[in-house]
Amino acid sequence: MLKVTALGKRYGKAWAVRDARLEIAKGEAVGLLGANGAGKSTLIKCMLGLVHATTGSTELTGPYAYLPEQPQLPPSLSALALLRFKCGANHIPPDQAPASLAEVRLSAADIVRPLRQYSKGMRQRASLAFALCGDPGLMLLDEPMSGLDALGRAQMLDIFKQRKSGGAAILMSSHIVSDMVQLCDRVLVMAHGRICESVAVAEHSLAEAKALESRLADWTEQQP
């Protein structure tokens, strides 16, 4: 579904991402764990072509979806109108639009209101619905839990688990270790623009989460 080979991005003399390599297969969930400024968002944007990579290449097969870190949606439109647009553009059956919005727990009254009236959490849900609409085979999620309360995060995790069990590949970047451990099969620890190590998540337990946090702290404290 996704194969990244030696991907790098340099701004002037500084490397934001360096020699990133990863591969995600169907039905696999991979986490991208790193502190703020580690290069997670830049890596994902390089994969999608939003940012031009300096080195390396990306292979994306099949339909994919992207959830940005801070979703910016057209403020004068409603969530329903936005999703209907995606259905029209990607030849998705139109009934998937309200279905996707219902899946992220946006009410029938909310989906017809203009997006500028949404709270941060509602915008995150609407953006997620936009990403989920059409059952993409690959989902690239940049801080998907941002702006959500504990209940919202739990609901989102359930959705992601369902999609994963349905065969979707997921790449999720976050700095919340506990969320990542619950969903992902393996976690890539990122620091100073590099993917430092890949840690398998076997038990999805709190202990594993603590171990990951420790690994992250070690890598982050090291000089680039």
Partner 1 sequence: MSRTLPLVTLTFSEIASQRVYRILLGVLLLVPWLMLIPASLFMFDIGKVLIDLLFTALHASLLIFLFFMAAPLIARDIEQGSCHIFLTLPMRRGRYLSARFVGLIVALMPLFAAYALSASLTLTFAESHWAAFYVAPHSVPLFDYGAALILMPYLALTAVLFLIAAAATGLPETMVFLFSVWLLCWSLPPVLGALLQAEVAAKTPTWIGTLLQTVNQLLPDLSSSRISLYLAHGKKLGIEAVAGYCLQHLAYALLAMMLAVILFKRRDLT
Which residues in this chain contact partner 1 in the complex, by CB under 8 A? Answer: 42, 45, 48-52, 64-66, 68, 70-74, 76-77, 81-82, 85-86, 88-91, 114, 127, 130
Give me the least distance between CB of 130 and partner 1, in Å please.
Answer: 6
Give me the least distance between CB of 165 and partner 1, in Å please.
Answer: 24
Give me the least distance between CB of 187 and partner 1, in Å please.
Answer: 24
Q: With both helix axes pointing from N to C terminus, report the angle between 79-89 and 96-103 in degrees, rounded to the nearest 10.
A: 130
Q: With both helix axes pointing from N to C terminus, report the angle between 120-132 and 96-103 in degrees, rounded to the nearest 10.
A: 130
Give me the least distance between CB of 68 and partner 1, in Å please.
Answer: 5
* Residue closer to partner 1, measured from CB, 64 or 160: 64
Sequence length of the chain is: 224
Give me the least distance between CB of 151 and partner 1, in Å please.
Answer: 26
Alpha-helical (H) ranges within the chain are 40-48, 79-89, 96-103, 120-132, 150-165, 177-183, 206-221
Q: With both helix axes pointing from N to C terminus, report the angle between 79-89 and 120-132 in degrees, rounded to the nearest 10.
A: 20
* Residue closer to partner 1, measured from CB, 113 or 186: 113
Give me the least distance between CB of 210 and partner 1, in Å please.
Answer: 33
* Residue closer to partner 1, measured from CB, 73 or 111: 73
Contact residues for 40 (Cβ-Cβ < 8 A; gap 6+): 32, 34, 142, 173, 190
Closest CA to 68 of 131, 158, 1, 132: 131
* Residue closer to partner 1, measured from CB, 141 or 177: 141
* Residue closer to partner 1, measured from CB, 72 or 165: 72
Q: With both helix axes pointing from N to C terminus, report the angle between 120-132 and 150-165 in degrees, rounded to the nearest 10.
A: 0
Closest CA to 147 of 170, 169, 176: 176
Give me the least distance between CB of 200 and partner 1, in Å please.
Answer: 29
* Residue closer to partner 1, measured from CB, 32 or 177: 32
* Residue closer to partner 1, measured from CB, 5 or 54: 54
Structure token pair of residue 141: 């999620």
Sign of CA dihedral 35, 140, 172, 2: negative
